[in-house]
Amino acid sequence: MIILFGVFIRYDEESDTHWVETKAHDNITSDIENDFYFRYPSFQDVHVMIFVGFGFLMTFLKRYSFGAVGFNFLIASFGLQWALLMQGWFHSLDPQTGKIFIGVESLINADFCVAGCLIAYGAVLGKVSPVQLLVMTLFGVTLFAVEEYIILNLLHARDAGGSMVIHTFGGYYGLTISWVLYRPNLHQSKRMQGSVYHSDIFAMIGTLFLWMFWPSFNSAITDHGDGQHRAVINTYLCLASTVLTTVAISSLSQKTGKLDMVHIQNSTLAGGVALGTAAEFMISPYGALIVGFFCGIISTMGYIFISPFLEKTLKIQDTCGIHNLHAMPGVIGGIVGAITAAAASESVYGKQGLINTFDFTGDFKDRTVLTQGGYQAAGMCVSIVFGVVGGAIVGSILKLPIWGDPADENCFDDEVYWEVNNPIFFQTIMFSVDCND
Amino acid sequence: MIILFGVFIRYDEESDTHWVETKAHDNITSDIENDFYFRYPSFQDVHVMIFVGFGFLMTFLKRYSFGAVGFNFLIASFGLQWALLMQGWFHSLDPQTGKIFIGVESLINADFCVAGCLIAYGAVLGKVSPVQLLVMTLFGVTLFAVEEYIILNLLHARDAGGSMVIHTFGGYYGLTISWVLYRPNLHQSKRMQGSVYHSDIFAMIGTLFLWMFWPSFNSAITDHGDGQHRAVINTYLCLASTVLTTVAISSLSQKTGKLDMVHIQNSTLAGGVALGTAAEFMISPYGALIVGFFCGIISTMGYIFISPFLEKTLKIQDTCGIHNLHAMPGVIGGIVGAITAAAASESVYGKQGLINTFDFTGDFKDRTVLTQGGYQAAGMCVSIVFGVVGGAIVGSILKLPIWGDPADENCFDDEVYWEVNNPIFFQTIMFSVDCND
Amino acid sequence: MIILFGVFIRYDEESDTHWVETKAHDNITSDIENDFYFRYPSFQDVHVMIFVGFGFLMTFLKRYSFGAVGFNFLIASFGLQWALLMQGWFHSLDPQTGKIFIGVESLINADFCVAGCLIAYGAVLGKVSPVQLLVMTLFGVTLFAVEEYIILNLLHARDAGGSMVIHTFGGYYGLTISWVLYRPNLHQSKRMQGSVYHSDIFAMIGTLFLWMFWPSFNSAITDHGDGQHRAVINTYLCLASTVLTTVAISSLSQKTGKLDMVHIQNSTLAGGVALGTAAEFMISPYGALIVGFFCGIISTMGYIFISPFLEKTLKIQDTCGIHNLHAMPGVIGGIVGAITAAAASESVYGKQGLINTFDFTGDFKDRTVLTQGGYQAAGMCVSIVFGVVGGAIVGSILKLPIWGDPADENCFDDEVYWEVNNPIFFQTIMFSVDCND
């Protein structure tokens, strides 16, 4: 990795000491116009989502919190280095010098790429070894970079918040791997599944940081100025509306009217996923609310009806329910994006605004919004195909009996991979919980 | 809600794709001058305060953490949508088009508005149903928008961090509701009151995020440039000073000299509340320290002496002690603001600085600082009146027996509204704790 | 303190209402060029690191979490006020008016100064009283300001992220104090040492916030524009690489291949410490990876081999292992900084870039990079000397029997200084854990 970085990676012009000359050359009058100041606060928010958000969201299991936070930390750190290389080769390799020039936008993109793999981790949480996770991330990042190149560069689809390239791909990649690695005897570790009171509160830390910073996620790499501004407003409204429908559906689905923490932790986030493509478009505030409204319903319904169905009929064991949080809302997001793009008009966007938003420049300057809508839809199909086919191949590799995966009765148990201090106290708790089951 | 948004809400010019034309029109040379880059980092900090700060601060109860974080999440998401509408109607309805134009400053204001209702939630925590909370928020946001319109627009008082409009109003609103909903037999749920070791640490997450980001809260909507800069410095110093006096008083108040977690979690924040009005003024660094010094004393004393008095004599059951954290420091903040405004002089502010700080333009260009001080004081009275009268009315509505509120012996217990997994383990803990009582 | 602030501290020109005139004078066209917008997001990240990062990192002990978070809060709040004064006197006292002018950069520097003392707290965690901590902070901040003045102003060494002035100094200061306060009978509180499951997860909150925001720490006070941009990229890469080697070494060091939470919580951060000096230089992305690679190895090895050696042979009881996380990586960072500086060349930096990066202006305009490298090395020696000698003196003061330190058998126990609610439940846990030992 170090050698590859030595050969390929260089600072881009805005993070190089020659910036003082670049600046003079580009007629930039102030350091504040360095891309750093446009993107750094959003980058940090995304960074928090990746490490605290995804990490803590998965701590809900009563005895797999070390694995959730720790392995999330490990594969994210590994993945982002690999992503800088892979995304660099596909997106920003300078043909003359053969170098990749990185700046703050590259770091955000690397975090995005890692997000795809962390989503996939959610499906196999507790059932794989750290070595399997690293292999899964290695291939996942590679597939991601190819798929992203096809969707964003060749098809010229817009996908700033990654409904398609991140969530749809990551969701189906993880689900397919989980399907290949199906464990018929997983019920042997039933005592370890489910949450305890405090682990649910830890998971809420993850939920809230994801929820709060999702506007930054969807706006991090959109156009400077109004693009970032609009993406934030749309995502903020969409997420707020999702919370309300999630709570309503969660309460209505129980005879007692009680709320289920699983829904609150996960389905409240579906709105952000579903606005990943359309956030930068002029979807209008009430459009964002409508998307959020339906996502809350669909995602919560998913936890209640679809997840049990997937497990029983299709043999997909989806620990965190990523199908409801990422895969389905991601597909919805792709569709919403295609429709919104196809419906764009000069009267709403303004002539120059339309060109800026969809980047109708260079080779694409004659593209119409209707064609753009078609390419958006095509992009979504590409991401699903990459997820399913890639997941099937990587899943087969992971099925080889050389990776040290845990036995069925040791799934969801930190003691397999971690030094844990207090087994007796824990056995007492387990005992009482078992009695109660 | 979606229909109302469809009818009224539009993007403002800085988040619209026509921004490229607006920019040319206003002689703006760079995207970085979009209001987004002035306000977005502060907005995200405020957002964290609302959802993580307020949410986790209330998790201190041993068995009401789901309710604290979850219902906080619910009513904040609901409230901010309603707040965008209500504040829009009162503050920024465009008379020609009948539309409300929203940008990042509107989102911050909506978060502020929600803060008022979350403060009120603190007083009734554990004693009301989620439906009651939604009703309370619906009316609270409406009252807030009216009160804010009177104080900021009609009286032209300055209140950037909301000592008056947020904290004083929210505090008295919640206290009055709690007084109307007085439960004489609350001691039946005594076993559920108080904290356990880990719930106190969860609450510290809330405390610290509130404490750290309070400078952003007080500076989020102040003037660009020196206004935001100064508000941050003042709030930072004031809060630091409050921590020291809180620890000192907490230790001195016990015969054994031990510290009480309740004081550390709450009273350390009083300084930020009390500087909500004056933070943007030239109160000077030592002025900020003095305010913090006294707030730490008063707030901690409040927990020791005033809260028991309120409960016993005035029949106000204040779960989180919002009287000590918000109501009293809010009133202090209003007074400090009035005095600082009245004492402002051209020699300290500069001629143009005075006009900028107090916005002496348009209808108010002949106002003197002394008059301004008087109007500040009037603003505080308005916020108290709105809190008390509004709270009494809404409290009476909430007293109707149709809202599904919990029985006295089920207060402070998550099991009434949430699916909870491990009752037997919990009963064991409860048993040991009861033995100890 | 208030009096001292009244006499000395004033707003600087960018946070004063006269800014409107300053701006006109300096040909600044927009409020966005106020230093506030360059630094505030980084400041908030640093602020989170100080209060949440350091505070929660130390919560790993099973029964000292109140003390970890609470006393961290107390001494940080106290220290930053004192630091504003001390750093002001040494660095920014205006000779004409005798005033200190503060802005957002002063606040960051005060947070940095406090970080040195919090590092030292890590070595004595659980073994000292809050009064001792305040004394330690009072002297620590003073020593810090003097040492920083010598290194940055007199020697003109560069140390933006403080490998030398913060980490090396803080580390040796704490270790020496711990050595002076050696407790031969500390084994009497053995039942309180070590962690429980949930306390390790709380500690991960601290780890992750430190890890994520370290790029902000190292870039907070570097040059506007490319300087901040580059420091972020370097630190980000270095930290990612440290995580991988930490996990690898942690797993290899155990016969069972299991991971140890202590390493994950601490050693993963060593890369950020070691790049504190060189982050703003053109160390190149692969250079950053190499530094991170070795730091992960050294720091994890430190926990496995060096910490037990220090305790047994040198009688240094280092609760949090700050020798492995701060002292050693700090020294490495100083050496890396000296080498990188000495190896700088005009071909890599550009003529103007070299001058900007090393600030070769004024009295230092004829300095060569080789001389600069020598001064960097000299700076590191100064920080070690200040740490050891200062620690010895302050340790002797703290050994006086007037500070109310806890007895050997009460170390690492919150009940000495805090009101704790549930002793019986806790005794049950303790009992089960004891059985297991």
pLDDT over threshold 50, residue C76: yes
Q: Which residues pair with A100 in a beta bridge?
A: A9, A93
Q: What is the pLDDT of residue C349?
A: 84
In a domain, C418, yes or no: no
Residue ranges making up the domain that contains C157: 36-183+197-400
Mean pLDDT of all residues in B1-28: 70
Strand pairing class (A100-102; A9-11): parallel
Within 13 Å of residue B127, how many CA atoms lie on the same side as its CB?
31
Euclidean distance between CA atoms A70 and B59, whole angstroms: 25
Euclidean distance between CA atoms B68 and B57, whole angstroms: 8
Report the candidate in B331, B342, B346, B414 with the shortest Cα–Cα distance to residue B380.
Answer: B331
| A137-155 residues labelled b (16+ CB within 10 A) or e (exposed) | bbbbbbbbbebbbbbbeeb
pLDDT over threshold 70, residue C437: no
User: Maximum Cα–Cα distance for chain B, whole Å?
Assistant: 74
CB–CB of B230 and C17 under 8 A?
A: yes
Q: Which residues contact A14 (CB under 8 A, 6 or more apart)?
A: A22, A34, A35, A36, A103, C225, C226, C229
CB–CB of B285 and C34 under 8 A?
A: no
ipTM value, please give it. 0.90
Confidence of residue C114 (pLDDT cuts 50, 70, 90): very high
Nearest-CA residue of chain C relative to A2? C286
Secondary structure of chain C: what % helix, strand, coil (to 5)? 75, 0, 25
Contact A58, A212 (CB under 8 A): no
In a domain, A368, yes or no: yes
For the segment C244-254, what is each residue's pLDDT rounded down to a tens digit? 999 999 998 88
Nearest-CA residue of chain C relative to B211? C51
For the segment A226-283, what is each residue's pLDDT rounded down to a tens digit? 888 889 999 999 999 999 999 999 998 888 888 998 999 999 999 999 998 988 888 8
End-to-end Cα spacing for chain B:
48
Domain count for chain B:
1
Q: Does B225 touch chain A (CB under 8 A)?
A: no
Q: What is the pLDDT of residue C93?
A: 76
**CATH number of the domain within which A80 lies:** 1.10.3430.10
The radius of gyration computed from the CA coordinates of chain B, to the nearest angstrom, equals: 22
Q: Which residue pairs, CB below 8 angstroms and at least 24 apart, start in B249-253?
A: B249/B296, B249/B297, B249/B300, B249/B301, B250/B300, B253/B300, B253/B304
Between chain A and chain B, how many beta carbons pairs sit less than 8 Å apart?
Answer: 188
Contact B106, B84 (CB under 8 A): yes
CA angle B278, B279, B284 (to 5 degrees): 90
CB–CB of B417 and A212 under 8 A?
A: no
Q: What is the DSSP letter of C93?
A: B
Q: What is the pLDDT of residue B135?
A: 93
Q: What is the pLDDT of residue B254?
A: 83
Q: Does A45 touch chain B (CB under 8 A)?
A: yes
Exposed, middle or buried by CB within 10 Å (0-12, 13-18, 19+), for A389?
A: middle
Nearest-CA residue of chain B relative to A215? B44
Q: Which residues pair with C32 in a beta bridge?
A: none
Q: Which residues of A touch B417 (CB under 8 A)?
A: 258-259
Between chain A and chain C, how many beta carbons pairs sit less than 8 Å apart?
Answer: 190
Euclidean distance between CA atoms B136 and C162, whole angstroms: 50
Please provide the average confidence, as pLDDT, over all residues in chain C: 86
Q: Which residues of B touch C83 (CB under 8 A)?
A: none
In a domain, A436, yes or no: no
Q: Which residues contact A371 (CB under 8 A, 6 or more apart)?
A: none
- Closest residue to A230, CB basis, from B15, B202, B428: B15
Q: What is the pLDDT of residue B412?
A: 87
- Closest residue to C425, CB basis, from B237, B258, B432: B432
Distance from CA of B361 to the nearest CA of C (A): 16
Q: Which of residues 401-430 of A touch C (CB under 8 A)?
A: 417-426, 428
Nearest-CA residue of chain A relative to B423? A436
Mutation target for A interface from B14, B16, B17: give the one with most A CBs within 10 A.
B17
Q: Which residues of A touch B52 (CB under 8 A)?
A: 205, 208-209, 212
| CA dihedral (B93, B99, B101, B105) positive or negative | positive
Q: pLDDT 10s per residue in chain A (437 long)?
A: 677 777 777 777 777 777 666 666 666 667 777 778 888 888 899 999 999 999 999 998 888 889 899 999 999 999 999 998 888 888 777 777 778 888 888 899 999 999 999 999 999 998 999 999 999 999 999 999 999 999 988 898 988 888 999 999 999 999 999 999 998 888 888 888 888 888 889 999 999 999 999 999 998 888 888 888 889 999 999 999 999 999 999 998 888 888 998 999 999 999 999 998 988 888 888 889 999 999 999 999 999 998 888 888 888 898 889 999 999 999 999 999 999 999 888 888 888 888 888 888 877 878 888 889 999 999 999 999 999 999 999 999 998 888 888 888 888 888 888 888 754 444 444 444 433 33
Q: Which residues of B touch C77 (CB under 8 A)?
A: 239-241, 243-244
Contact A280, A288 (CB under 8 A): no
Cα dihedral A320/A323/A325/A329 (nearest 10): 170
Euclidean distance between CA atoms C388 and C400, whole angstroms: 19
Q: Which residues pair with B9 in a beta bridge?
A: B100
- Closest residue to C74, CB basis, from B239, B243, B353: B243
Q: Which residues pair with A418 in a beta bridge?
A: C259
Task: Using CB atoms, list chains with 3+ pairs below 8 Å to chain C.
Answer: A, B
Q: What is the pLDDT of residue B171?
A: 94
- Closest residue to C52, CB basis, from B208, B225, B229: B208
Distance from CA of A88 to the nearest CA of B (A): 27
Q: What is the pLDDT of residue C345?
A: 83
Euclidean distance between CA atoms A384 and C113, whole angstroms: 51
Q: What is the pLDDT of residue A206?
A: 92
For the segment C44-75, what is each residue's pLDDT rounded down to a tens digit? 999 999 999 999 999 988 888 898 999 999 99
Torsions phi, psi for A221 (to 5 deg): -120, 15
Strand pairing class (B9-11; B100-102): parallel
Q: Does A435 touch chain C (CB under 8 A)?
A: no
Q: Which of residues 76-115 of B touch C (CB under 8 A)?
A: none
In a domain, C304, yes or no: yes
In a domain, B226, yes or no: yes
CB–CB of A261 and B103 under 8 A?
A: no
Amino acid at B36: F
Q: What is the pLDDT of residue A267?
A: 92
The radius of gyration computed from the CA coordinates of chain C, to the nearest angstrom, equals: 22
Q: Does B1 touch chain A (CB under 8 A)?
A: yes
In a domain, C25, yes or no: no
Q: Does B131 touch chain A (CB under 8 A)?
A: no
Q: Which residue has the higher pLDDT, C360 or C298?
A: C298
- Closest residue to A226, CB basis, from B15, B32, B198: B15
- Closest residue to A45, CB basis, from B6, B35, B44: B44
- Both tokens of B75, joined, read 């009513």
| DSSP codes of every residue in C317-367 | --TT-HIIIIIHHHHHHHHHHHHHHHT--HHHH-HHHHHHHHT--GGGTT-
- Both tokens of C274, joined, read 């070691």
End-to-end Cα spacing for chain C:
48
Q: Does A18 touch chain B (CB under 8 A)?
A: no
Q: Does C71 touch chain B (CB under 8 A)?
A: no
Q: Which residues of A touch C209 (CB under 8 A)?
A: 52
In a domain, B258, yes or no: yes
- Closest residue to B69, CB basis, from A204, A232, A240: A204
Nearest-CA residue of chain C relative to A77? C240
Nearest-CA residue of chain A relative to B22? A226
| CA dihedral (B33, B36, B39, B42) positive or negative | negative
CB–CB of C419 and B261 under 8 A?
A: yes
Q: Which residues of C touch B38 (CB under 8 A)?
A: 31-32, 37
CB–CB of A284 and B52 under 8 A?
A: no
Confidence of residue C430 (pLDDT cuts 50, 70, 90): very low
Q: Does C65 touch chain B (CB under 8 A)?
A: yes
- How many residues in chain C? 437
Interhelix angle B104-124/A226-252, rounded to 10 degrees, is: 30
Distance from CA of B358 to the nearest CA of C (A): 11
| DSSP codes of every residue in A176-203 | HHHHHT--TTGGGGGGGSS--HHHHHHH
In a domain, C18, yes or no: no
Q: What is the pLDDT of residue B397?
A: 92
**pLDDT over 90 percentage in chain B:** 46
- Closest residue to B417, CB basis, from A258, A290, A357: A258
Euclidean distance between CA atoms A273 and A325, whole angstroms: 8
Q: Does B390 touch chain A (CB under 8 A)?
A: no
For the segment B225-255, what is each residue's pLDDT rounded down to a tens digit? 888 888 999 999 999 999 999 999 999 888 8
Distance from CA of B28 to the nearest CA of C (A): 9
Q: Does A210 touch chain B (CB under 8 A)?
A: no
Q: What is the pLDDT of residue A423?
A: 47
Report the candidate in A426, A409, A309, A394 with the shortest Cα–Cα distance to residue A62.
Answer: A426
| DSSP codes of every residue in A118-170 | HHHHHHHTTSS-HHHHHHHHHHHHHHHHHHHIIIIIIS----TT-IIIIIIHH
Q: Which of residues 179-198 of A touch B (CB under 8 A)?
A: 194-198
Q: Which residues of B touch C1 (CB under 8 A)?
A: 241, 289
Q: Does A432 touch chain C (CB under 8 A)?
A: no
